[in-house]
Structure 1
Amino acid sequence: MERQNVQSSNLRSIGYDQTTQTLEIEFNNGGIYQYYNVPQIIYEGLLNASSHGKFFHQYIKDIKVAKITYK
């Protein structure tokens, strides 16, 4: 999945697959996680948030997730 880099102290990049509603986030520690059944509006909100980390903690962190890699 292609991700866009973001300026954040916690998140490095964000990607989204509209077909499967899968949100993929790469964290600055190297971990990459996929969040499932995420509405596109949540992805857009995260991408455009003034604080990606705050948005993540408020709207995304409790969504079903799978860790796909780490460093």
Structure 2
Amino acid sequence: MARGSLILIVLLLSFFIVPADIVAQCSICTKTAQQLGERPAKALNMGIIYLGLTPFLIIGFIGYRWWKNNR
């Protein structure tokens, strides 16, 4: 149980350590964002990261619950 808690803590901390300036835009989105300005470009980038991360979090949660129930 302590090992699982340690892994969970490390994963949560890694989310906070990752730099916030991750570029998640394709070339077309980058050109569109450059035309919009800096603030809308950052919002577009965060929206892309949010939409990309959500399925991984859902699948990870389901996998964790499945693993926990089958132990």
TM value normalised by structure 1: 0.30
- Quick check: which has more Rg, 1 or 2? 2
Greater percentage in helix? 2
Bigger relative CO (Cα 8 Å, ≥ 6 apart): 1
